[in-house]
Structure 1
Amino acid sequence: MRLAARQLPPAARWCLIVLGVTVCYFATARIGIQWAIVREQISPLWPAAGVALAVPMLLGPRFWPGIFLGALLTNIALGPSLVTVMVITAGNTIGPMLAYAVMRRLGFRTRLDRLPDAVLLVAVGAIGSTAVSATLGTGVLVLGDGLSPGDFWATALVWWTGDAIGVLTVTPLLLLAPRFRMPKRVPLGRWGEAVALALIGLGTAVLASTATAKLFLIFPVLIWAALRFRQAGALLCSLCVCTFTIVAAARGLGPYGSYELAARMLHVQAYAATVGLTALTLSTIVLQRDRATAEITEAWLQVTEMVEMIAPRQSLRSAITQREDDELAG
């Protein structure tokens, strides 16, 4: 199928990829809407934002119409007016494209194998660009009488939180997906450790969303996941924790139930950002360590091979020199 796609004319291939991006954005947006707490369209977890940022990074910026169409299909049924929908859709498209342009300018690499790449993804992708779409979308809702002016900040915080956490949890997984390969000949003990990590991670994520004193239980699990299963394990744990935390906060449960909406979203944003940043940076540092160890090992093997090649020649030269010295002495 991949070979057939490559044989398509460039225009047909572009349309096919745009259609795929539109479907992916719309599907993940529908998932986010299930947790909407403002106007049934603003959710504290918006995985579509993570998809939108990953699209230009993986496929290229020329497929931005897929983001626009996906956002348009999502928002057009929610209103309140066509002008408002178009502005919100434009904001959903401009935010990730702006983040992509800035991150590319600063040397971002999609392999996420360097600490600066992780920092850029958090600072520019998750925090900076999402503020653009949140502010623009909330502002046009207020101007279009979809919201009262007094609800601006609370709504903007919910919007910003949802987009930022969507980027933190979904985008790294999508960037890693093209390089994922199913491991072969995995020992049974390794599978047992993976199952144990999954069960303990899920249980800890549920516990962390029930009480303030239990919020920090997840960090030993994140360390375990990063050290043993690298980025894939740590990021999946982060996604689970953020999902349970946001669901609890959206329903007024757990450690966030006693706060007003704006304060609740600030607490959720701080906690989710801390979890996501810890998972991403720690697993990236471990990956850097592995790469440095592999480079040192390779260099040592090369030096060893050179020594083995030089040693016989050096011995032969020593023997010739010794013979010449003996002849001169004789």
Structure 2
Amino acid sequence: MARGEELRRLSLAALRILGVAVVYYGGGQLGLLKQVRIEGATVTPLWPSTGIALTALLLLGLGVWPGIALGTLFSVLTLGPFLPADVAIIAGNTLAPVCACLLLRRVGFRPELDRLRDGVALVFLGALGGMLISASVGAAAMVVSGKLPADGFWAIWSAWWAGDAMGVLVVTPLLLVLRRLRLPLPTHRWPEATALVITAGVITPLATTSSLTLLFLVFPVLIWAALRFELPGSAPYVLFVSVMAISEATDRVGGFAHHNLVERMVSLQALNGSAALTSLLLAAIITEQRNVRLRIEQACDALAEVVARLAPGEPVARRRREHGPREGDRPRQEGGKETGGG
């Protein structure tokens, strides 16, 4: 019996690891659809696999880290023959989300993202801080192996770090929102949601494809989504903005057409980072305020019930002081004596 239970536990753990590896690899293939070459190395403006890896660690536990390593291995093999330097790249890509998860746990991060501190922690510890490891290890391994000239280290490092960080900022909040999604969805706000989707579908392509500098037009839509629908509304829109902007930047059309590669990457990552930051922090603030209001209302209701149980006659006494006695409250005569009415 004990051996069967142990076998079942190991089988579930193996399935989780394999599932993480497959999803990580799939995210990597999506990221490689829009890749750029810098100093002879392949980098992506958005690496969704880092967001997938961090989400898996937060929800399934640190025990799924071999799945991240396997997924990285599969992704590396699709780019060319396996080299000794790729071992360091696999180690860096595995260690980065693991360290990010440990940092988030250390500060009491909650996957619900219902506090401002959770949004700030995900941005600065999970994305910007944790992904320093993968970028540093990966770029250094390429220089040491001779695949990259020494003077190209910082160019590759910055692109690698930005792509990994954007993967966390864009993908992790969306996956955490999908985890909490429950069907059927409420229908009383469908008209406003439909209006938001139509507006996003019109404004976002216009902002990213126009030869004019109109990228700022996405922010009113993003603020609308965050204020009215919190993270379930803003997280999908941030992903949509990122995909549209990456497509235009890598194809050199729209507002990115007349810039060189470095300028396009800087503008792209500035847009993606600003959109993700706005979505996370604004949605977290709104959610936190809503939860505080609900807790206050619940406390008031509980206090009213306590007062009603301890002083059941208080409502009548207060009514008499404020409005005078009602007909039923007047004294009546019984046997020559006055008795108070209820």
Q: Secondary structure at the match of 2:312?
A: helix
Gaps of 5+ in 1: 1-5, 320-325
1:49 Cα deviation from its structure 2 partner: 1.0
Please show how residues 217-228 of structure 1 align to structure 2 within 5 Å.
217-228=217-228
1:127 Cα deviation from its structure 2 partner: 1.1
Please show how residues 75-114 of structure 1 align to structure 2 within 5 Å.
75-79=76-80, 81-114=82-115
Q: After superposition, give the CA deviation of every residue in 1:9-32 in whole Å (9 maximum; x if it has no partner).
A: 111110011010011001111111
Which structure has the bigger radius of gyration? 2
Q: After superposition, give the CA deviation of every residue in 1:102-153 in whole Å (9 maximum; x if it has no partner).
A: 1211221211111111011111111112222122212222222323334332
1:79 Cα deviation from its structure 2 partner: 3.6
Q: Percentage identity across aligned positions? A: 39
Q: Secondary structure at the match of 1:57?
A: helix
Gaps of 5+ in 2: 319-330, 332-337
**2:26 corresponds to which residue?**
27
**2:256 corresponds to which residue?**
256
**1:122 corresponds to which residue?**
123
Relative to structure 1, the CA distance from residue 89 to residue 312 in structure 2 (aligned partners, 3 Å threshold; closer, same or farther) is: same
Distance in 1 (CA, whole Å) between partners of 2:311 and 2:161 is 65
Q: Which amino acid aligns with 1:240?
A: F
1:280 Cα deviation from its structure 2 partner: 0.8
Q: Which has the higher helix share?
A: 1
Please show how residues 3-42 of structure 1 align to structure 2 within 5 Å.
9-38=8-37, 41-42=42-43
**2:143 corresponds to which residue?**
142
Distance in 2 (CA, whole Å) between partners of 1:177 and 1:311 is 47
Please show how residues 1-330 of structure 1 align to structure 2 within 5 Å.
9-38=8-37, 41-79=42-80, 81-184=82-185, 186-187=187-188, 190-210=189-209, 211=211, 213-313=213-313
Distance in 2 (CA, whole Å) between partners of 1:258 and 1:150 is 26
TM-score, normalising length: structure 2: 0.84
Q: Which amino acid aligns with 2:118?
A: D
1:193 Cα deviation from its structure 2 partner: 2.0
Q: After superposition, give the CA deviation of every residue in 1:204-255 in whole Å (9 maximum; x if it has no partner).
A: 2222223563111111111211122111111111111111112222222333
Relative to structure 1, the CA distance from residue 95 to residue 191 in structure 2 (aligned partners, 3 Å threshold; closer, same or farther) is: same
Q: Secondary structure at the match of 1:209?
A: helix
- Deviating above 4 A after TM superposition, structure 1's stretches of 4 or more consecutive aligned residues are 313-319
Which 10-residue stretch deviates more, 226-235 or 299-308? 299-308
Number of aligned residues:
314
| RMSD of aligned Cα (Å) | 2.5
TM-score, normalising length: structure 1: 0.87
Q: Which amino acid aligns with 2:46?
A: L
